[in-house]
Amino acid sequence: MRKKLPDAWEDDWETAADKVDDERPPPAPAQQTAPLSKAERLAKHQETNRKIWESAYVSSGAPL
């Protein structure tokens, strides 16, 4: 069950808001991957675009 968030109309809302922030777990660190070369980025971009256009054609019912 979620705890009630502090209301700004309460007298002690700043302290209560800080306690809510302290109870949250820290965000997971982002995984570092090796940077892609320009050719790899372009290939990934082209593949993504192809999938987007293909899904648009399939959803519209147009022949490929």
What percent of the chain stands above pLDDT 90? 28
> Which three-class secondary structure state does DSSP give residue 20?
helix
User: Mean pLDDT, to the nearest integer, of 4-14?
Assistant: 68
Give 39 or 11, the one with higher predicted confidence. 39
Beta strands in the chain (DSSP E): none
The CA-based angle 28-34-50, given to 5 degrees, is: 95
Residue among 39, 40, 64 at smallest CA distance from 54: 64
